[in-house]
């Protein structure tokens, strides 16, 4: 199961993505499903989320559009992006944590966070990051 500290850390990382204004991850009381609601001020924010979701094999949705890869989308009347994944049956690292790894990797590749943050995440989640060429 995903550690509450992990979901809190992922929320903090999501807010660092370009175009993202707020992020909230929470586990459903009725199940082990975790939902993330992310406020985006522009499609740039959703594009960043969609890139991360593609790597983690989860679905990011904006309005009626769904994307598991980066693509151009038509404007929609609101900017709440929802990320859906269920880590109930996934052993460590969970799907939620893997999504966090992809968010952190994106931030690192965009030079928004440095090696120090990646080292912290590696210690917390025992996952090795490498910079993409």
C-alpha angle with apex 90: 88 to 95, nearest 5 degrees?
90
- How far does CA 14 lie from the centroid of its chain? 6
pLDDT grade for 119, boundaries at 50, 70 and 90: low
Instruction: Give residue 65's pLDDT.
Output: 46
Q: Where are the domains of the chain?
A: 4-125
Average per-residue pLDDT for the chain: 67
pLDDT grade for 86, boundaries at 50, 70 and 90: low
């Amino acid at each position: 199961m995903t550690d509450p500290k992990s979901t809190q850390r992922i929320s903090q990382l999501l807010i660092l993505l370009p175009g993202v204004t707020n992020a909230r991850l929470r586990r459903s009381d009725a199940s082990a499903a975790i939902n993330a609601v992310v406020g985006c001020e522009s499609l740039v924010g959703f594009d960043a989320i969609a890139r991360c979701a593609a790597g983690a094999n989860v679905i990011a949705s904006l309005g009626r559009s769904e994307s598991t890869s980066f693509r151009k989308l038509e404007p929609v009347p609101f900017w709440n992006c929802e990320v859906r994944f269920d880590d109930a049956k996934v052993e460590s690292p969970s799907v939620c944590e893997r999504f966090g790894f992809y968010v952190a990797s994106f931030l690192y590749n965009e030079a928004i966070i440095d090696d120090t943050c990646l080292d912290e995440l590696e210690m917390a989640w025992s996952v090795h990051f490498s910079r993409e060429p």
